[in-house]
Structure 1
Amino acid sequence: MKGVLLVNLGSPDSPTAKDVKPYLDEFLMDKYVIDVPWLLRAFLVRGIILRKRPEESAHAYQKIWWPEGSPLIVISKKVHELVKEQAEVPVALAMRYGKPSIETGLKELHDKGVTDVLLFPLYPQYAMASTMTIEKLAEEIRAKQFLGMKLTNVPAFYNNPDYIDALANSIKKGLEGFEYDQLVFSYHGIPERHVRKTDATKSHKKFTTDVMCCTPGTPAAEFCYRTHCYETTRLVVEKLGLPADKYYQTFQSRLAGDKWLEPYTDVEINKMPAKGIKNIAVVTPAFVADCLETLEEIGMRADEDFKENGGENFKAIPCLNDDPQWVGVLSKWINNWAKTGALPN
């Protein structure tokens, strides 16, 4: 019997330092997120980062927390319920960090008699710190607890026509009535070394801003997050018919101490008013559901900083969330796989 496990990032149980701390510990101690030896990772995370970060992050979460709970969790549950209504096989929901766990999700499917699971990380672009860590943990749990279960991984869908069409339409709706000088595509940043680590061809040597590091469709690009991001932007821009001077691509949420993918969202947005770019819209295609990084980092902090630097109008475009077209796309992919075994690619 077939079934599907949708997996998103996760969220603390509440916007308090008490609950944020264990969530951040689980997240930052993941060897695919901070990819250094365990002792060094423990020193950095538990000896330095977790001394102040829980309070700071709790404050940020408090600003975006909904009455029903974490926006990411609330939206993911809505999507899950809507997809279940259209799917022809059992569908469970899990989070990589926090609750409900991947273990819980696999057990739910196992208890329903599912032996063939489509593991569906809700990340359009492949990255070590998102897709890979979900795949690794799910396989580890399967091997220990569900030996009779088979896992099939959904490939990155950053260039899938159904996804691009849904994303382009959601951006178009988000821009209605808003006169913008530039549309900024802001993707979550990752260290440059993560791109190199996921490249089996070992062909990534140097990254040049606005220049593709590898060609889409080649072995080097299969797990290249940077190329996936640029290709998503290119396809959406083509779909929307945007001229070259009306959009820009950046990477957000970097940590200090490492070389991360550039250009940086905050740096570039803050420079725009001085260039005469006074009205901007920002879309965050690395996420399919609004969360701390989209609602607080972009919707609040980037908005405030942009205006403090001379900007006039700022529009944060919502993620796909529970958009009917997006829910339809997910359901279509799931039912196609259930019937034919075909994956969305």
Structure 2
Amino acid sequence: MKDRLVYSAYASGWAVLKHLPEPVARGLFDRIADYAWRRRGKRVLQLEANLRRVRPGLDEAGLRELSRAGMRSYMRYWMESFRLPVWSRQRVARDVRVEGFEQLRAAMESGRGAVVALPHMGNWDLAGAWVALEGYPFTTVAERLKPEKLFDRFVAFRESLGMEVLALTGGGVNVVGTLARRLRQGRLVCLVGDRDLSEAGIEVSFFGEATRMPAGPAALCQRTGAALLPVSLWYDGPLLRARIHPEVAVPPEGDRKEKTRAMVQAMADVWERGIREHPEDWHMLQRFWLADLPVRATVDEAAQPAGADRRAGQPADTARPAPAGEPAAGASGP
């Protein structure tokens, strides 16, 4: 019964919201964001705790305003995702601006393939749709969540945008092997890579504190020779902007673990700069730093493909479904 109710709520929202006039939809989701912000539930409080690390100099009033902007950005993601199925190619092209796209194009034209690694910023569904329309369909991974009908609907939606979506579990597919095979074929893989608090994550320094990030993107690039391209995303008025940063190269020295750790830290440094510039568009409503986690989750392990970061619909530390991920990269929900 619960699964049916969840699916019905999403399906109804999808059916209604994608046909609302744009100003009405924006106003509605801004009100939803403001309502959640005023209630100061655990998600908002955790968002503020995270933003305090990003902007430690803010007073309480400034932090509250930043968290309000953050909730509005978060709900904008949902509003756009509900409406994206009816957006035209022209609308997507008009509303997305990408810097550094020549780096992705060069990697793809060389036949190396590329892993685009993104943080939880802006709207990666919309960015993914733009990339696919530019002629680069890609492969990603989604954590299988309940209800199954909802998962299948999200997968069908993303596949309609030009994504190949691999289910993390229950699909009868070797996910890591499939991703490696796609890269060796010179294709594109997109993964969310800023949060993996399983015991297999790579410990990095982020805003001066320890957290874990997934080994998956770096490990895949070492394994296949693909280019590792970190990306940051943010909103700029009506536009979604993205910056494709220079390739994170495999270090010439060190063993596999040392090389992976250095590459993950390099990505963390890139994302730290992007988040510092646009903190309201970092949609991190879960516990993120190791200092905020139970003691049992702070044991550092060697890097290896491992368990997924849970998302919406999961118990405990949860947030929104995400469009891209990988077993060792914080595999996303639908």
Q: Same fold (TM over 0.5)?
A: no
TM class by shorter chain equals: under 0.3
Q: TM-score, normalised by structure 2?
A: 0.25
Larger Rg: 1
TM-score normalised according to structure 1 size: 0.25
